[in-house]
Amino acid sequence: MSYNGALKTTGVVALPPWRSSLLFLVLLLGLCALVGRAVYLQGIHNDFLQQKGDARYGRTVDIVAHRGMITDRYGEPLAISTPVESVWASSQQDEAATPEQVRQLAQALGMDARDVKNRLFDDSRDFVYLKRQIPPEQAEKVVRLEVPGVSLHREYRRYYPGADMTAQLLGFTDVDDNGQEGIELALQELLSGKAGSERVIKDRRGHIVEDVASIRAPKPGSDLALSLDSKMQYLAFREIKLAVEQHHAKAGSIVVLDAKSGEVLALANWPSYNPNNRDKPATKMLRNRAVTDLFEPGSTIKPFTVATALEAGKFTPDSVINTENGVFTVGGRKIHDTHPYASLTVAQVIQHSSNVGAAKMGLSLSPETFGSSLSEAGFGTATGSAFPGEASGKLRDYHKWMPIEQANMSFGNGMSVNLLQLARAYTVFANGGELKPVSFLRQDAPGVGKRVFSETTAREVRDMLELVVQPGGTAPQAQIKGYRVAGKTGTAHKVEGGRYVDRYVASFVGMAPASNPRLIVAVMVDEPTGEYYGGLIAAPSFSNVMGSALRLLNVPNDAPLGNVMMPPAGDDAKEET
């Protein structure tokens, strides 16, 4: 049978030998093309695949910077950042958490299961926090659950060892460790540092399996040393809290200054709050009342009236003033003294806190002289402390003063101050007439002061202020065993709706040792119940804080240990403003 016949019989078509060779060649070329493409993409031009891989598994993770520590002047910590964990999740896609895992996760976090589920399966975001800043033991429970896409992120939480004792001064930070109030806000830029970042690769469960590269290293915040003395802060806080509670007052504040440098050694308010508790307190609790709240200073202004009159040569400490038996009429308005006297020397005007005597001295001055003197002493302007929300006080333009306004200004009515401002003003009497700048930061050297009065005038007024705490003065309860004290009481009506009401602010500002002042303490109690005179309400707190602080600093005595002399029973220390 022929070849062709055989093919017809079997039905098989014979192919030319060259076609198999051609097919092999095509397959070989295709394989070479694939190999070449792979080499090109993975070895030469791998940007495309790298981008796709990064999009699926690569992430840029922020590295939180450690916030700087705040300490007192001796290095005692006042605010520190401790490491905590935050729980976050990537969107559930390829391998979703089971309902049981969602329930267990919600239980571990103390959250509602529905809320956790909504966050886990939220396709609108690739990243979501489930709970921020949880305790280590709670974080350990979350890790053990091994929920897909759920991871921990290291953060820092602020802790304040002093709690409510330093609350309004230091302020607090939010959940992102950014300052919100007080020193934390004022010095945010220095404390916060700069966050870093790094590239990481995560598996399909969302767990980090490799650190690829550090893009930017975090820069820690700077540590800051405040001028505060923690021991004095405790003393001040304890006493102002006691005074407010004892006299059923609305609030109170206290400031302790280094008389030589102007540094704030203590500043406390009551009521207060605990900044370690993340539940935000009432707004009225947040205010640093010693810096933000204004009040009429009352008789604590009289030393400045007297100093201005002495400086102008209108009076001497022994000049006698007709005090009109306690009633003086100016522009149809009557000015009263609590204790009427026919006449008083200038020194006695301070000792007995005579409004009539102060008004006559103030009216003897030109408005320009008196107004400029008060302004030079820091009234009507901010202290320069840079504390957030500081009030500058109010001092009317002397060009617009009426005679009755000038008379009222002489004993502290018609103007307003904050307590820090008032304490600072008294540095002129502690430093030979120089007004010192105030600072919340520790200073290596005393700041440069500004001369307001002559050394002679400042010394003469300080001598008068010593009479205030002696029997016959308005603040015998301000005396301190073993130390000479100089200071002034203040009792002022509060103003509401432009009118004086029967509510009061009691205050006392003083310095010790009077022979060479080392500290200035200012106390203010807002709306005490019952008695409201500064000599009865604020002076005892001054004495307790100043006496303890002087002994804490080992300041030598400048008076015999038996120097305290109280007036006869029933002879209350009172003054009228």
Indicate if the alpha-carbon torsion angle 397, 402, 405, 409 is positive or negative.
positive
Catalytic choice (299, 373, 416, 439) = 299
Q: Using the 8-state DSSP alphabet, how is residue 282 labeled? A: -
Q: Which helix (H) or strand (E) holds 117?
A: helix 113-120
Task: Please give the Cα distance from 492 to 158 (Å, whole number).
Answer: 40
302, 336, 359, 459 from 362: Cα distances, Å: 9, 15, 5, 20
Residues 6+ apart with CB under 8 A from 45: none
Task: Please give the Cα distance from 483 to 459 (Å, whole number).
Answer: 17
Cβ atoms of residues 298 and 490 within 8 Å: yes
**Residue 548 among the catalytic residues:** no
**Strand 264-270 to strand 343-345: parallel, antiparallel, or no bridges (unpaired)?**
unpaired
265, 267, 490, 530 from 523: Cα distances, Å: 14, 10, 10, 18
**Strand 224-225 to strand 70-71: parallel, antiparallel, or no bridges (unpaired)?**
parallel
In the sheet with 208-216, reading across from the earlier edge strand, the strands are 58-63, 196-202, 208-216
Cβ atoms of residues 379 and 423 within 8 Å: no
Task: Please give the Cα distance from 522 to 253 (Å, whole number).
Answer: 8
- Active site positions, annotated: 299
